[in-house]
Amino acid sequence: MILKTYHDFKSLDDLDFEVVEKKGRCHPDTLADRLAELLSVTYSKLTKEKYGVILRHQFDKLSLMGGKCDVRYGGGVFRSPVRLLINGRATQRFGDEYIDFRDLLIDTARKLLEKELINFNFDVDCRVMWESTSNPTRGMIDEENGGTSAIHHRFAPRSLDDLPESKNPISNDTAVGCFTAPYSKLEKMVISIEKSLTSDESRRTYPWLGTDCKIMATRMDSDVNITVSIPQISTFVKSPQEYVSNLEIMKEIIHKQIFESGFQNAVLTLNPGDNTDKEMFYLRYTGSCIESGDEGQVSRGNRLGGIISSKRTFTVEGLSGKNPAYHAGKIYSVMSYDIANEINEYFGVACEVLIMSQIDRLVSDPWVVIVNTNTHVDSKKLEEIVKKHTNNPAQITSRILEGKYPLNY
């Protein structure tokens, strides 16, 4: 492993400007990310319990395609269903044993979508398209006879000997993972606004409040501008007057978070698409735009940490749905998250961490690690922190399965 340190990082709060975006709890892209990751976790737990190892899989090409609803004050109805495309690869056979996981994954999707979407019946309002395969990445040298090398059997292992991750995982690809710590003041505010609007407590207190929240915030020097778009649920809004009255409650919730964030010069725009004169209001039957033609794609939502911050170091690696045992882009992103946060907590400095892999190199032996802090720190302690995390990727895998990281929300 090559470890290189720099000391010219600039804290996000010290920048002249920032742009921070967050796609909320039931934004279609967020739903796709959350669902892909949940399918991966479900499959991982199933195969680990059954075979002692997480078998090869990836559900990162999952898509949610929008349905169609008619909405009206006090009600609504589905006209065409949401379509769920479960697209990816997963090991379907271990030795001579067939692995039956399709119904389990579809039931997992049912539970999440029915929990998150109001007025939604999975069996009626969702059409599932199953396109999972178990094709090997590198093809067969001797396809007719099934190949002889273990590398050609990783998605159809004859035994654990065909799976390097059963002993010491190797990186599936040459990739980069990275993270920046700590959150900036603006990032914290955006996260707090979204949570205050879409939390379980808010849903109980304000049943009319949708969860397809989208926030865009800019800070130019000390001036902050915030746009928030979030629907109201049509079955709980009886008239235009109720809708407008609810907007005032939403503004109070948001302004409270702005005040607690300490910003003095903040301008809020709420639901800019509304047109009171034409009674064009942001009403949704389910609380999400997935009902009205919008689509959700994995990795188009929030990055690791739950935001999309244009000034923050980040990778284009899609994390949701990837195998947590050997997918380098996923493991090293989470590893960067842990390292950056520990450096920030221990030294009290802002920093960025980047970790690069090489295909077929041990996951526990990254190719290059770069740590850039905003001031000089003790190099021996920093190296100790880095090696503590890089030497133990199995712990990261376990924590991913426990849902300990904000991979997408």
Spell out the domain ranges in the chain.
Answer: 2-16+174-183+303-401, 28-163, 186-278
For 186-278, CATH number out of 3.30.300.340, 3.40.50.300, 3.40.1160.10, 3.90.1200.10 equals: 3.30.300.340
Cα gap 261→193, rounded to integer Å? 10
Per the DSSP assignment, residues forming a β-bridge with 228 are 215, 270
Are 47 and 55 in contact, with CB atoms under 8 Å apart?
Answer: yes
Cα gap 330→336, rounded to integer Å? 10
Grade residue 136 by pLDDT with cuts at 50, 70 and 90.
confident
Vertex 262: Cα angle to 231 and 352 (nearest 5): 90
* Lowest-pLDDT choice from 26-40, 56-70, 122-136: 122-136
For range 118-125, the mean pLDDT: 97
* 143 has a pLDDT exceeding 60: no
- Cα 253 to Cα 184, 250, 259, 267, 278, distances in angstroms: 21, 5, 10, 14, 26
Query: pLDDT tens-digit profile of 222-267?
Result: 999 999 999 999 999 999 999 999 999 999 999 999 999 999 899 9
The pLDDT score that the predictor gives to residue 252 is 97
Question: pTM to 2 decimals?
Answer: 0.94
The pLDDT score that the predictor gives to residue 187 is 98
For 28-163, CATH number out of 3.40.50.300, 1.10.10.10, 3.30.300.10, 3.40.50.800 equals: 3.30.300.10
Q: Do domains 2-16+174-183+303-401 and 28-163 have the same CATH topology?
A: yes
CATH fold of 2-16+174-183+303-401: GMP Synthetase; Chain A, domain 3 (3.30.300)
**CB half-sphere exposure, 101, CA atoms < 13 A:** 26
Length of the chain, in residues: 409
* 147 has a pLDDT exceeding 70: no
Cα gap 184→305, rounded to integer Å? 12
The pLDDT score that the predictor gives to residue 144 is 55
Select from 32, 9, 1, 60 the least CA-distant residue to 323.
Answer: 60
Helix axes 328-347, 379-390, angle to 10 degrees: 150
Are 320 and 298 in contact, with CB atoms under 8 Å apart?
Answer: yes
Vertex 363: Cα angle to 360 and 366 (nearest 5): 95
